[in-house]
Amino acid sequence: MKKAVLVVVMICCSMLCFAQSSLISFEDIKYILHNDLDRADTFLVAKGYRVKSKNIKKKYYEYTMPIKGGTFVNVSLRADGRRMFIDLETTELGQYDLIYNSIMQYPNKSSVLAGDVQTYVIKGVCTAYITVTDTVPYNPLRKDYDIQIVADKNVMADRDLN
């Protein structure tokens, strides 16, 4: 009996881990910030994101991940010198919760800008700007979440971004 319960718990845990494998966690964001666009490209494609557009000359990549139920996660990466900038646009509540709960585990300063932009400064890593708005057309169960990640000035890619 104990073995059956243990097997059921293991299966449920593995299903939960697999369900969130396509979502981007804060650990994934830290990995992307510390690596160049080529490594970030490989990483996101391995997670199941499709390349929406790439501009190698301008160092700007866009990815998309449609999720069951009509939600989505769009990721934009931009390199400026050796620093990385990440924009996440999503309607998936799980993606927002995953990043928000991860950010809250780190010592940070938080504030609210212009009424609806939440700012979280994670010392030595990045600054996260989160905006939550209603979807168009209005749906009380779904919101648009825009998350912009700006790397700290000391966080740079491992390789040169030529």
The per-residue pLDDT for range 60-108, each reduced to its tens digit, is 999 999 999 889 999 999 998 878 999 999 999 999 999 999 998 887 7
Angle subtended at Cα 102 by Cα 53 and Cα 156, rounded to the nearest 5 degrees: 55
Long-range CB contacts (within 8 A, 24+) of 72-78: 73/22, 73/23, 73/24, 73/49, 75/24, 75/44, 75/49, 77/32, 77/37, 77/40
Domain presence at residue 31: yes
Residues 9 and 14: their CA atoms lie apart, in Å, by 9
Does residue 14 lie in a domain region?
no
Looking at the domain assignment, is residue 136 inside a domain? Answer: yes
Number of domains in the chain: 1
Domain residues for the domain of 97 are 23-151
- 11 found inside a domain: no
Q: Is residue 56 part of a domain?
A: yes
Percent of the chain with pLDDT over 90: 57
Mean local confidence (pLDDT), 12-31 = 70
- Establish if 146 belongs to a structural domain: yes
Residue 159 lies in a domain: no
